[in-house]
Amino acid sequence: MQSEHVPKFSFQGVDAFFGKIDASAGDNITFRDVTEADFEEIHRAREQRGRKVRLSLYSRPLGTDFPTLVIEAGYSQSWASLRAKGRWWFEASDYAVKIVLLVKMDRSIAQIRIEKWKAMEQPRTRPSRATTRAMAAQVVPSVSPECVQTVDIIRAASVGDHDPRRFLPNSYRVTREWRTSAGTSRNASGLDYSNMKLRFWQTRTGCEVAPAV
């Protein structure tokens, strides 16, 4: 999940909408002040024009009052699509969002996988002797999303879709992996509540756009 700046624009009609997309070099773009009627018009225009872009309509917070924890879940979506949505939350909020949980269900193998992504500050390079103290103080730490934990929940092969045991916890195997700079450890758990706060926030309608995956 690579970090990048997400351009943000006010919605000013369908033609301007697609013009901004064509002019954008990135993978994601955000439009504010998009009503549900606007979104339906955009969707129709996308089909008529044969444009291969993925559209998502969300109620977004005003200003910087983003939640600190976001959950994105999918069944038919690809992992690439889910991770693109997770990346959007980090970048659009300027990393006010601290944790994104991505959840994907796969019925064919009776599995649920959860990925925990966290906004991580990247280690700074050690300044050279030629670097002044004032210059070092102006360095802005680099932040990027990293997957720090995965959880796999898999139903036992002997338990079918109509087996009454499918509702029992012991019919499932849960495997956890926690990723740190020191390596990977199994069966570690936790959400790291130090990064989470209770926030009340107002919403405004917005439209996220990204290439189809």
Q: In this model, does residue 41 exceed pLDDT 70?
A: yes
Please report whether residue 199 resides in a domain: no
DSSP state, residue 138: T
Please report whether residue 162 resides in a domain: yes
Q: Whole domain around residue 93: which residue ranges?
A: 8-123+133-192+205-211
99-106 vs 69-74, strand pairing mode: parallel
What's the CA gap between 196 and 38, in Å, rounded? 34
Tens digit of pLDDT for each residue in 90-149? 988 888 899 999 999 998 888 999 999 998 887 665 555 555 555 555 555 688 899 999
Please report whether residue 48 resides in a domain: yes
Please report whether residue 198 resides in a domain: no
Count of C-beta atoms within a 10 Å radius of residue 210: 21
- Check residue 58 and give its pLDDT: 72
Domains identified in the chain, total number? 1
Report the share of the chain in percent with pLDDT over 90. 24
Tens digit of pLDDT for each residue in 138-160? 555 688 899 999 999 999 989 99
What's the CA gap between 152 and 66, in Å, rounded? 28
Q: What is the mean pLDDT of residues 43-68?
A: 78
How does 82-105 read in b/e, with b if 16+ C-beta sit within 10 Å?
bbbbbbbbbbbbebbbbbbbbbbe
What's the CA gap between 197 and 98, in Å, rounded? 10
Please report whether residue 24 resides in a domain: yes
Please report whether residue 197 resides in a domain: no
Please report whether residue 104 resides in a domain: yes
Tens digit of pLDDT for each residue in 158-206? 999 899 998 898 899 889 888 776 666 666 444 455 555 544 444 455 5
Please report whether residue 30 resides in a domain: yes
Q: pTM for the full model?
A: 0.63
| Range from 2-11, 31-40, 192-201 that averages highest in pLDDT | 31-40
